[in-house]
Amino acid sequence: MKQEKRDDIDTTMLMLIGFGAGALLSTVFFLFLGVFIEAGENETWSLQAVWSGLMSMCISVIIGIITLLYWKLIASKTGVLFPRLNGFKLLLAFASVVPGMALTIGLAYQFIM
């Protein structure tokens, strides 16, 4: 008899999804807004902001790879379905967006300064 998969809340998976989304949002911030905000007087755009945006993009890709590996190696084997983002699960994923943005923006500003 085939065992049915449970629809439990996988908190780690939701946190990784939200953290990656936060890193991606900070990438958008640096690539589209930071390029013009950080520009000097005689510059059209800031090269440091471009590098910071690319670094933020690399961080979000690394978080995405970690999330994929977690899903492939751990979460899919425990019988938990891929989390549907609705209700409390959506709030949990949104709550982890802010730390993802804060970490990525902090690292990128250290790179700029």
The model carries a pTM of 0.66
Number of independent structural domains in the chain: 1
Does residue 36 sit within a domain? yes
**What CA–CA distance (Å, rounded) separates 35 from 23?**
17
Task: Note the pLDDT of residue 1.
Answer: 45
Q: Around 96, how many Cα atoms within 13 Å sit in the side-chain half-sphere?
A: 17
For residue 10, the SS3 value is coil
Does residue 1 sit within a domain? no
Does residue 83 sit within a domain? yes
What is the chain's percent helix, strand, coil content, to nearest 5?
A: 70, 0, 25
Is 80 exceeded by the pLDDT of residue 62?
yes
**64-112 residue pLDDT tens:** 888 888 878 876 676 665 556 566 666 767 777 888 888 877 777 776 6
Contact 109, 29 (CB under 8 A): no
Does residue 104 sit within a domain? yes
Q: How far apart are the first and last CA of the chain?
A: 61
Q: Could you list the residue range(s) of the whole structural domain that residue 17 is in?
A: 11-112
